[in-house]
């Protein structure tokens, strides 16, 4: 009997392109060029979307063109290298954090195995230290004396087209979730390195459409979908009608109402896409039960801020829209819905980026409990979960948890609210009161150590579905554990991107699990005066 | 005959742990940077390493026993569901399963007490073949699942986050910015 030897079998496994880079894994990483294949990259930004954004005051999105990552020639401007190096020099000067991050890494490796992209691919360039090294090597080679003289001996290299392509591949295999940063002894925020990489790429017209089209739409009409005021209003009204049919309670919903106490801003996906619409129905029911003096805006109709995934100027402009609307309507403060990166921008960047809030805004005070949200004294925006937790703490809500008896929940800490903002105990406190019992995922996958959905920062596009399943594996693996152990059937969270993308993630890894927002569960269990509910075996999802 | 079977069973009992360790090591070596996958034992910190270890640990005794296709499927699903979404060719995705034949032979041959058993592995090889064929089917099931997940996402409305063609968008030519406040 003639059987191939093990080594020959290994050869057959290794022959051909390797995992995600297309490289034969025997060379050093600097010598292995990246290869782009269908399914391995998100589609480039549309020319007309970049042109529109570039035409807007204060925004800079130059070199719009039609190009393909699969082509050798990316049609870069002639002076692309000068633009990149000048851009890097400016940012090293402007952001002290970047300069420190470039200099202080000692390559201890603490971050290496903490990234969901690395854990799902085994690709060394997805180790956070290595992803940062893609930029750091250019910094050394072009900006430090040792790197200029010693080159690779000092870990330096020159900026080339190949390096630029590598940046594009790996800046879009990072969801800026910051899990790696909590393990770094120096506090290097690798997400901010990705942010800089993406900014530099946009300066030569390289970006992805799933980011740029929402930014363009938000700039133009106020929300990711490009919806104009009337359809936005109508859709909320439809959802209010659904709530009325289910609960028998007449809802009072207002739009662009001047003089309201509170402006409510949430991701537009909550208004239009499943499963976010059920969370939206939850907001409507909750606010009505409280008799809250609030209004929606059809112009600041988006909590999400995809500007964070492009450059500082776009992020600042989109964040500013919420406050421009808060000023126009004369509200005291903003109540923010279940969104992810909206909170990252508000909590981490807004103070130094946008400056003071409009004069009409005040330190938020709950009109129901009198609680002063001093934590929001500078931003004047309160998170719906801390708002709800405060209501429960003061016994202002009545719940019948049996109304959630169809739910066996676990809790996903969404990266931005949890890790970046510290909203960790509040949702657990709320969950304790609205369901009979729920189950935590393993300790090293929750709270500050939570694993990303794998599709944040504009990677929630279907053409890279396999990549998303790989990067979401660590999250899904923990979900599967509680599904197997406790027959969990619901994955709850407070992020619109999570609600959309975890749905696909669990459809692949643990079919049968439902993804929902926290306020959906709150509203399911809420008992209010004058209600005349139909039988709701699936809560707000019950079809009437 | 019964004496020979006992000998083979004894050989497997003696070397099963070593065979499994090498099989896990071999499978994880198909990843470009695999040191961590091999070292870290916590299955939540290391989902690929953890699932490969669990799946192959379940599968090996079943193959030795010749338990049959339906018994092989759960551990195969655990491992192939992962490899089906990684950038392996179909052959690369399933080939580590085939490696168990060669690993077993090398380990048995290295021990004088079990060297003679290499001629008696027909049933074991057959079980591996059955598992390998099942793995191809499972690979395709998961490929089909990912296509259906993609289609479901497009149909669900999540796609409208960017590329929607909602009625109001269709009504307006590209570039026009109606900001009508009337009635609102």
CA distance A4 to chain B (A): 8
Nearest to A121 by CA among A198, A23, A45, A31: A23
The token duo for A180 is: 């790696």
Interface of B with A in 66-105 (CB under 8 A): 81-82, 85-89, 91-92, 95-96, 98-99, 101-103, 105
More confident residue, A277 or B181: A277
- Token pair 């369901």: residue: A435
Instruction: Give the N- to C-terminal CA distance of chain B in Å, as an integer.
Output: 89
Q: Where are the alpha helices (DSSP H) in A180-260?
A: 190-202, 209-221, 229-247
By C-alpha distance, the chain A residue nearest B104 is A6
Q: Is the ipTM of this complex over 0.95?
A: no
C-alpha separations of A523 from A249, A384, A508 in Å: 13, 13, 28
Closest partner CB to A272 (pick from B101, B160, B175): B160
In SS3 terms, A312-353 reads as HHHHHHHHHHHHHHHHHHCCCEEEECCCCHHHHHHHHHHHHH
Specify the range with the lowest mean pLDDT, choosing from A17-31, A164-178, A491-505, B19-33. A17-31
* pLDDT value at A12 more than 60: no
Taking the Cβ of residue B176 and every Cβ of chain A, the question of whether any pair is shorter than 8 Å is answered with: no
* pLDDT value at B137 more than 70: yes
Place A2 in a pLDDT band, splitting at 50, 70 and 90.
very low
* pLDDT value at B161 more than 80: no
Q: What is the DSSP letter of A126?
A: G
Taking the Cβ of residue B5 and every Cβ of chain A, the question of whether any pair is shorter than 8 Å is answered with: no
> What stretch of H or E contains A308?
none
* pLDDT value at A410 more than 60: yes
Place A6 in a pLDDT band, splitting at 50, 70 and 90.
low
Q: Where are the alpha helices (DSSP H) in B29-121?
A: 35-39, 47-65, 69-83, 90-109
A520 Cβ partners below 8 Å, 6+ apart?
A275, A278, A279, A281, A282, A539, A540
What residues of chain B lie within 8 A of the CB of A56, using their CB?
none
Nearest to A156 by CA among A103, A115, A91: A103
What was the pLDDT predicted at A153? Answer: 86
* Cis amide bond preceding A275, omega within 30: yes
Place A10 in a pLDDT band, splitting at 50, 70 and 90.
low
Nearest to A520 by CA among A300, A334, A301, A337: A337
What was the pLDDT predicted at A133? Answer: 93
C-alpha separations of B24 from A236, B9, B19, B59 in Å: 53, 21, 9, 11
Taking the Cβ of residue B9 and every Cβ of chain A, the question of whether any pair is shorter than 8 Å is answered with: no
* pLDDT value at B167 more than 70: no
Phi, psi values for residue B19, rounded to 5°: -60, -45
CB contact under 8 A, A113 and B40: yes
What was the pLDDT predicted at A26? Answer: 56
Chain mean position to CA A457: 5
Q: Is A512 helix (H, G, I), strand (E, B) or coil?
A: coil
Confidence (pTM)? 0.92
A419-457, pLDDT tens digit by residue? Answer: 989 999 999 999 999 999 999 999 999 999 999 999 999
Place B33 in a pLDDT band, splitting at 50, 70 and 90.
confident
Count of A-B CB contacts under 8 Å: 185
Place A8 in a pLDDT band, splitting at 50, 70 and 90.
low
Place B1 in a pLDDT band, splitting at 50, 70 and 90.
very low
Question: What's the rounded Cα separation, in Å, for the pair B124 and B62?
Answer: 10
By C-alpha distance, the chain A residue nearest B166 is A227
Cβ atoms within 10 A of the Cβ of A294, count?
A: 21
Chain mean position to CA B106: 23
Question: What's the rounded Cα separation, in Å, for the pair A447 and A421?
Answer: 11
Place A14 in a pLDDT band, splitting at 50, 70 and 90.
very low
* pLDDT value at A541 more than 70: yes
CB B49 within 8 A of CB B28: yes
CB contact under 8 A, B149 and A507: yes
* pLDDT value at B170 more than 80: no
A56-99, pLDDT tens digit by residue? Answer: 999 999 999 999 999 999 999 999 999 999 999 999 999 999 99
What was the pLDDT predicted at B181? Answer: 33
By C-alpha distance, the chain A residue nearest B93 is A13
Q: Is A531 helix (H, G, I), strand (E, B) or coil?
A: coil
As to burial, measured by CB atoms within 10 angstroms (0-12 exposed, 13-18 middle, 19+ buried), residue A312 is middle
The whole-number average pLDDT for the span B67-90 is 97
A243-266, pLDDT tens digit by residue? Answer: 999 999 999 999 999 999 999 999
> What stretch of H or E contains A278?
helix A276-290
Cβ atoms within 10 A of the Cβ of A108, count?
A: 12
Closest partner CB to A122 (pick from B37, B95, B175): B37
Nearest to A286 by CA among A389, A406, A363, A374: A389
Q: Where are the alpha helices (DSSP H) in A451-494?
A: 465-471, 473-486
What was the pLDDT predicted at A504? Answer: 96
Place B4 in a pLDDT band, splitting at 50, 70 and 90.
very low
A337-358, pLDDT tens digit by residue? Answer: 999 999 999 999 999 999 999 9
By C-alpha distance, the chain B residue nearest A16 is B89
CB A143 within 8 A of CB A92: yes
Q: What is the mean pLDDT of chain A?
A: 93
* pLDDT value at A238 more than 50: yes
């Amino acid at each position: 009997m003639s059987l191939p030897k093990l080594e020959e079998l290994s050869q057959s496994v290794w022959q051909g392109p390797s995992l995600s880079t297309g490289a034969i894994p025997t060379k050093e990483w600097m010598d292995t060029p990246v290869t782009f294949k269908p399914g391995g990259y998100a589609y480039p930004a549309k020319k007309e979307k970049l042109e529109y954004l570039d035409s807007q005051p204060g925004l800079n999105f130059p070199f719009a063109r039609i190009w393909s990552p699969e082509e050798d020639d990316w049609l870069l401007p002639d002076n692309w290298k000068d633009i990149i190096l000048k851009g890097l020099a400016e940012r090293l000067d402007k952001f002290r954090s970047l300069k420190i991050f470039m200099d202080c890494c000692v390559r201890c490796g603490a971050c290496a195995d903490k990234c969901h992209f690395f854990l799902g691919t085994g690709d060394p360039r997805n180790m956070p230290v290595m992803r940062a090294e893609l930029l750091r090597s250019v910094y050394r080679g072009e900006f430090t004396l040792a790197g200029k003289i010693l080159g690779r001996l000092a870990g330096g290299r020159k900026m080339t087209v190949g390096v630029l392509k590598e940046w594009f591949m790996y800046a879009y295999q990072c969801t800026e979730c910051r899990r790696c940063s909590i393990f770094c002894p120096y506090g290097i925020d690798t997400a901010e390195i990705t942010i800089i990489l993406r900014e530099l790429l946009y300066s030569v017209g390289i970006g992805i459409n799933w980011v740029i089209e929402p930014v363009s739409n938000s700039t133009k009409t106020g929300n990711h979908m490009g919806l104009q005021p009337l359809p936005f209003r109508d859709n909320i009204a439809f959802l209010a009608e659904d709530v009325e049919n289910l609960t028998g309670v007449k809802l009072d919903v207002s739009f662009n109402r001047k003089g309201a106490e509170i402006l409510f801003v949430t991701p537009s996906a909550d208004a239009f896409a499943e499963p976010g619409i059920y969370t939206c129905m939850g907001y409507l029911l909750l606010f009505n039960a409280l008799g809250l003096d609030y209004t929606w805006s059809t112009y600041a109709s988006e909590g999400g801020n995809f500007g964070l995934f492009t450059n500082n100027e776009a992020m600042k402009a989109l964040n500013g829209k919420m406050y421009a609307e808060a000023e126009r309507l004369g509200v005291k403060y903003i109540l923010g819905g279940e969104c992810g990166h909206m909170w990252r921008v508000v909590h981490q960047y807004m103070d130094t980026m946008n400056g003071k809030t409009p004069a009409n805004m005040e330190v938020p005070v709950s009109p129901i409990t009198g609680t002063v949200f001093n934590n929001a004294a500078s931003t004047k925006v309160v998170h719906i979960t801390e708002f709800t937790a405060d209501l429960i703490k003061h016994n202002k809500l009545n719940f019948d948890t049996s109304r959630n008896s169809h739910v066996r929940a676990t809790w996903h800490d969404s990266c931005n609210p949890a890790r970046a903002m510290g909203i960790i105990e509040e949702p657990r406190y709320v969950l304790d009161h609205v369901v009979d019992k729920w189950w935590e995922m393993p300790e090293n996958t929750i709270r500050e150590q939570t694993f990303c959905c794998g599709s944040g920062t504009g990677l929630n596009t279907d053409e890279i579905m396999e990549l998303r399943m790989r990067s979401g594996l660590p999250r899904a693996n923990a979900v599967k554990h509680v599904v197997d152990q406790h027959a969990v059937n619901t994955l709850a969270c407070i992020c619109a991107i999570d609600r959309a993308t975890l749905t696909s993630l669990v459809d692949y890894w643990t079919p049968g699990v439902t993804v929902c927002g926290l306020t959906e569960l709150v509203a399911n269990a809420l008992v209010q005066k004058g209600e005349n509910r139909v039988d709701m075996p699936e809560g707000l999802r019950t079809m009437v | 005959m019964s004496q020979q079977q006992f000998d083979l069973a004894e050989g497997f009992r003696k070397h099963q742990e070593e065979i499994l360790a090498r099989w896990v090591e071999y499978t994880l070596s198909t990843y470009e940077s695999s040191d961590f996958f091999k070292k870290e034992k916590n299955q939540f910190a290391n989902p690929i390493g953890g699932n490969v270890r669990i799946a192959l640990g379940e599968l090996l005794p079943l193959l030795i026993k010749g338990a049959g296709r339906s018994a092989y499927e759960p551990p195969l699903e655990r491992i192939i569901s992962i490899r089906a979404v990684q950038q392996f060719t179909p052959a690369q995705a399933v080939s580590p399963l085939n490696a168990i034949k060669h690993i077993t032979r090398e380990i048995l041959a290295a021990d004088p007490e079990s060297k003679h058993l290499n001629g008696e592995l027909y049933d074991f090889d057959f079980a591996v073949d059955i598992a390998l064929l099942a793995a191809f089917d499972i690979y395709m099931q998961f490929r089909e699942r990912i296509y259906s997940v993609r289609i479901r996402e497009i149909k669900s409305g999540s796609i409208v986050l960017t590329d929607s063609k909602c009625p109001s968008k269709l009504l307006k030519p590209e570039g026009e910015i109606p900001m009508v406040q009337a009635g609102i």
